[in-house]
Amino acid sequence: MIRVLLRAALCAGLALPIACSNNPYPDSDRDAAVLYTTFREAPRTLDPAVAYTTSSHAVTGNVYDTLLEYHYLKRPYTLIPSLAVAVPEGRVLEDGRVAYRFELRRGLLYQDDPAFGLGEDGRLTREIVAEDVAFQLKRIADPAVNSPVIEPFRVLAGFAEFGEALAARRKDDAEFAALPAHEQYAALGPVDGLRVVDRHTLEIVLREPSPQILYWFAMPFTTPVAWEAVQYYDGKEGRPRFADHPVGSGPYRLVHYNKQARMSLEVNPNWHGVRHPEWKAPGTLFPSEGAPGDAEKGLLDAAGEPLPRIQRIEFLREKESIPRFNKFLQGYFDTSGIIKESFDKVVVEDRLSPEMAARGMKLEKSVEPSVFYIGFNMDDPTVGAEGGERSRKLRQAMSLTVDVEEWLRRFTNGRGVPAQSPIPPGLFGYDPDYLNPFRKVDMERARALLKEAGYADGIDPETGKPLHLTFDTYQTSPDQLLVIRFFVDAWRRLGLNVELAPTNYNQFQEKVRNGAYQIYMWGWIADFPDPENFLFLLWSELARSNSGGPNTSNFSNARFDELYKAMKVRPNDAERRAMVAEMRSILEHERPWIELHHSEDYALYHGWLDGVKPFGMSFPMVKYRGLDVAERAARREAWNEPLVWPVWVLLVGLVAAAVPGVVTFYRERQ
């Protein structure tokens, strides 16, 4: 009996260390090219006409292919063809309007899905055709879909009219409203700006020139969508809604979707890069050229390799940042951001710390196409245009006191590039040599300007007290307010009395709508990488006070507007660059903004990943990444060796406790 007990204890002792492993993944995944990453909150929708968040694009950007896409490595950002044969060039029609003609590749297929049985019994897929792109663009125009990007597409001829006619017909005709969406669209007749030339060719016609429209065809909003998928996935008879069941043509397909725990993508065997490697189509091979410095970083080592290089993507829900980062350090997540609590441990003097480098980790940084700024309400009589030269000098003085480098050091661990203008690096029109004379700290000049403005030492001559201004914000927590007090304290050194006015977000928006504010802090992340997508924020026709638009500063300058309208319809040439430079000079002088910074994207990843280059915009580029599964497995085992001695101590204790009972048992039997 004792011998049996000891043998069982020995077996348990040998097995328990294995059983106690903290590896959260199945053994079958040990040698699989699976990328493990995280999400905090599940996407609200995966409908490509509606999804507009980073979390949703992590899925839709991989599942839905687009007519165009971006070159992975080149900067400035460069469009390349994807489902389309080529990036189209605009041509002027006889009536003066501009048209772009997209030709689809032949033989493109959707992922396999039972929805295609609606078109033909037993069918699991079909060819992608031009009508599918037109259908998706009509869905954007459809008021019932409620797409957040309807405005940019109003430049298409007949687009807005189609949406209005659709809503009116549904209201007046219940029988029409009961039809499937694609039948409703067909019943209304063709849209002037959406011309299906043939099975594989779509032409869009614009009311006015807009070269930026092409960028939207690199986003999932304009992906081909099958009418069968929209009709089939209606949430009835046990079927999910289309918003939860994407049916795309991209390099991956969604195979598991649990919003509370896990989302899984695996390679789509119908993707044209997999089915037709002989095409060597752009976006299906790792690029052989990139930006300066890419070759030296090893980013071209995979040149010519077929994509996707990773076979599966696992998104695991992790709400808390510290446990998420700790699992990354254990090797259970392949990439990570850098949490504030561990920044000094990971980054030393703007480089990866020796400790992290010794673990084989790598750090890549890129500047996002974004800008964060302090804005003035130009409709306000004190800080705005009404005050003329006096107010202008006040804004200039306030701009000269804001030390953004110190602000970044204190509050963002130095992450960010001080902004000299609204245009971030990587975009056409950005000048690395340009230095805004009002974006360097110069307290002496600031005090002189304040005196010229009539506010010597910050005193308002009408009251004899420090000039009182209000800084409105929707940030209300102590940590958030500390960030803004940095600016308030800087202005108080000039003698100004700037009062913080924190409210909740809805109240803040209401103040902005009503023009009841003076100073605020805001930011913008580009929808597409073009200077127009930043300079439009200061175009007078989009002033918040007049149109409810994104020009929250209500800035209005006739010359700026003239240049903007000319610049936005020009191709990227020397003349357009000169226009951008002149607009920048106007903003430099007028100071409707105090430009703060362009945010930086820090990508921390393990050495077993290669081909990693932060893209900056919300476009997943997982298909370009490679993975050394053997190195990952070895590192995980080395970093996560189970503690054996507590098990042995427990077993010895169990045996010691059991022996007296066994001895007593044998004595009683004798």
Total-model pTM: 0.85
Digit-coded pLDDT (tens) for 252-303: 999 999 999 999 999 999 999 999 999 999 999 999 999 999 999 999 999 9
DSSP β-bridge partners for residue 252: 267
Burial class (CB in 10 A: 0-12, 13-18, 19+), 569: middle
Number of Cβ within 10 Å of residue 656's Cβ equals: 9
Mean of pLDDT over the chain: 91
Q: How many CB atoms lie within 10 A of CB 98?
A: 19
Longest CA pairwise span in the chain (Å): 113
* 3-class SS of residue 238: coil
pLDDT band at 360 (very low <50, low <70, confident <90, very high): very high
| Residues whose CB is less than 8 angstroms from the CB of residue 9 and which lie 6 or more positions away in sequence, other chains included | 651, 654, 655
Q: What single letter denotes the amino acid at residue 195?
A: R
Of the pLDDT bands very low, low, confident and very high (cuts 50, 70, 90), residue 18 is very low
Average pLDDT estimate for 35-40: 94
Q: How far apart are the first and last CA of the chain?
A: 15
CB 552 within 8 A of CB 546: no
Residue pLDDT, tens place only, 152-181 = 999 999 999 999 999 999 999 999 999 999
Q: Which of 28-32, 215-219, 227-231 has the lowest mean pLDDT?
A: 28-32
Domain boundaries 32-44+250-363+605-640, corresponding CATH code: 3.40.190.10
CATH fold of 370-598 reads Dipeptide-binding Protein; domain 3 (3.10.105)
Nearest 5°: phi and psi at 650?
-65, -45
Q: What are phi and psi of 247, to 5 degrees?
A: -125, 95
Helix (H) or strand (E) holding 466: strand 465-466
Section 411-425 average pLDDT: 93
Is the model's pLDDT at 330 over the cut of 90?
yes
Residue type, 500: L
* Whole-angstrom distance, CA of residue 88 vs CA of residue 610: 32
Q: CB–CB of 51/57 below 8 Å?
A: yes
pLDDT tens digit sequence for 562-597: 999 999 999 899 999 999 999 999 999 999 999 999
- Side chain identity at 556, as an amino acid letter? S
For residue 279, the 8-state DSSP code is G
Closest residue by Cα to residue 356 from 365, 346, 348: 346
What mean pLDDT do residues 65-73 have? 97
Which pLDDT score, from 0 to 100, does residue 655 have? 60
**Rounded to the nearest 5°, which phi and psi values hold at 582?**
-70, -40
Tokens representing residue 399 in the block: 């701009």
Q: What is the C-alpha to C-alpha distance for residues 203 and 351, in angstroms, rounded to an integer?
A: 49
Cβ atoms of residues 239 and 250 within 8 Å: no
Query: How would you class 318 by CB atoms within 10 Å of its CB: exposed for 0-12, middle for 13-18, buried for 19 or more?
Result: middle
User: Tens digits of per-residue pLDDT, 445-495?
Assistant: 999 999 999 999 999 999 999 999 999 999 888 888 999 999 999 999 999
Task: Return the DSSP state at 111.
Answer: P
411-434 burial code (b ≥16 CB/10 A, e <16): bbbebbbbbbbbbbbbbbbbeeee
- φ/ψ region of 298 (left if φ > 0, alpha if ψ in -120 to 50, else beta) reads left
Could you give the 3-state DSSP secondary structure of residue 73? coil
Q: What is the pLDDT of residue 33?
A: 95
* Spatial distance between the Cα atoms of 383 and 443, rounded to a whole number of angstroms: 19
Q: What is the pLDDT of residue 621?
A: 93
The rounded distance, in Å, linking the Cα atoms of 64 and 47 is: 10
Residue 19 is predicted with a pLDDT of: 46
pLDDT interval class at 123 (50, 70, 90): very high
Return all residues near 503 (Cβ < 8 A) that are at least 6 apart: 472, 473, 474, 476, 511
CATH 3.40.1160.10 fits 65-233, yes or no: no
Domain boundaries, the chain: 2-21+642-669, 32-44+250-363+605-640, 65-233, 370-598
